[in-house]
Structure 1
């Protein structure tokens, strides 16, 4: 039996309760076993080198098992179950901070530090795409060893835009080889992904399955960005658009829901109509930004899911960023799953 925790810091008592329950998951995202960030201004998260010749169709995964609509529902903690981690050491508690990330801070077979953090639907940079010159489980693979004790390893699951399943490995400072156990675990992760991994069973109103890039109509973007904004997806739950010295972004994520709605110390409650409240925070600077958070689900322990709308623009651009963020949210919210 293993424990997959909530998507937030979990108290010892709650962890014990989850252990009794078996495999629990993030806010209201119960298990099933069915078949089968901030504004990224100028980021090259999904760009690839022009000389790269994709072996898969644009927008299509290299294998149906890695399709975005499938990955959005897969619990990453279930991909590094104890049966897999026990092949390289002694697993500990699972922690997760997002839909697509899971960590286990464990020990190797010699009792020394061996930590894993798994990301699915990870957006590759052009450099990471170029460096995917190896193979794991018949997929293109790349490695980046930051030090003797830290290693990132990824397998390419989609080439355009470039996405991967990535694992970060950390070991103790005695010179332990960090990449070797990572390769072994990542190979097991790919095997599980191609099988029947545990999936979330989303509560009503959950946005976990929504493609953020396709849910937004151009009409919601054009007042701020003009007629031809450029879209950039980042991961499986975030999308941004740029144009005319401005940027707009939507992201779905897990969060602890503060009882006072203060997601940020600058948060101000705003009425979005239909009984829906948003919590906006304006942040000044070289690229003034308004962030608007709307709660989509919340459980009894205040763990939940949110939709975050961001509007940012260069300082010289005349724009009420928070008013634009409200209009953005009002245009998108009716298309999201309703509680």
Structure 2
């Protein structure tokens, strides 16, 4: 299994782990937020850095957002996991919301949760911007501002790259994140402006995906597996959490299960397995440990893409990988998930 090497929010090179790879498996062209910008950095066209532009072409905004950092629980109904699950991020990367930054280009979707665009500022510099809903925040990074009533977390990687996030769930560590690459000035400034306008729109009437019959876009993956089924493969006291808007994880002391819904291209590798009801899954071992994932097509959509389901079992604590039978457990659990999905 190929791994993507990208910069994390500390600026260091890192190899993405399994939980961060939920948007890349069997999703040709669907890179995670950091990787999208890393790819764009490689082929940015002419060297605009040799052109003399002022470094303040995007209107500057004071760091730290609006007012004091909010404390206490986040109880904003507009930014719950359920409320954000069907919001269309590309519908928010518009001239109406981002026009203050310059001329807004075409929005390009990566699955349900992520969208990117390029903006030409008044000095000719390019602002490359990606928006992601349900982004995972580091547990060690504290909020340093306020954006429309939500804790703002800002992380400037270097002179040209910045993450600006609005924390939406402290329990799950999730956020709405804008990542910016900009050589025309402080990259955090356009990030703050974009994030503030996005969160403001989310509080009003955000664009949403049309939910076709049988679609998984609005379905809670944490409700996709019965507790009794989880207990069969994850014994003991189980912790359940939203990994992102469309992925749920169950973990205990050792074994873990993850269920993900995503929009991508159908799987084209792995071992075929019969999941019952005419559904064919593709079984694939992950890494060298006791990890196995089963992916199947739930519903075909336009442009040769599909709504996919992936059920993964792993146990890093397993002493005997073969005896752990991770693929057997993944397949048996997947069979019980198939029949409970809408339109199945």
- 2:111–2:262: 8 Å Cα contact kept in structure 1? yes
> Structure 1's 243 and 196: CA in aligned 2 closer, same or farther, altered over 3 A?
same
C-alpha separation in 2, matches of 1:182 and 1:205: 36
Equivalent in the alignment of 1:133? 144
> Structure 1's 171 and 238: CA in aligned 2 closer, same or farther, altered over 3 A?
same
Superposed CA offset, 1:297-335 (max 9, x none):
212521111010111224524222222111111122222
Equivalent in the alignment of 1:231? 240
C-alpha separation in 1, matches of 2:153 and 2:132: 15
1:292-311 mapped onto 2 (5 Å cutoff): 292-311=294-313
CA positional deviation for 1:62: 2.9
Equivalent residue of 1:201, what SS?
coil
C-alpha separation in 2, matches of 1:250 and 1:120: 18
Deviates more, 1:67-76 or 1:220-229: 220-229
CA positional deviation for 1:127: 2.0
1:153-302 mapped onto 2 (5 Å cutoff): 153-172=164-183, 176-257=185-266, 261-262=267-268, 264=269, 267-283=270-286, 285=288, 287-302=289-304
Out of 61, 76, 90, the position equivalent to 2:103 is: 90
Equivalent residue of 1:183, what SS?
helix
Structural RMSD (CA):
2.2
1:76-115 mapped onto 2 (5 Å cutoff): 76-115=89-128
Unpaired runs of 5+ residues, structure 2, are 1-15, 21-68
CA positional deviation for 1:205: 2.4
- 1:39–1:249: 8 Å Cα contact kept in structure 2? no
Unpaired runs of 5+ residues, structure 1, are 1-36, 42-51
Superposed CA offset, 1:193-217 (max 9, x none):
0111111112232211122223322
Superposed CA offset, 1:175-225 (max 9, x none):
621011111111110111011111111223221112222332222122222
C-alpha separation in 2, matches of 1:282 and 1:157: 33
Equivalent in the alignment of 1:21? none
CA positional deviation for 1:244: 4.5
C-alpha separation in 1, matches of 2:208 and 2:302: 22
> Structure 1's 109 and 65: CA in aligned 2 closer, same or farther, altered over 3 A?
same
C-alpha separation in 2, matches of 1:300 and 1:141: 36
Superposed CA offset, 1:128-182 (max 9, x none):
3x2x12112232212100000001111122332332211111112xx62101111
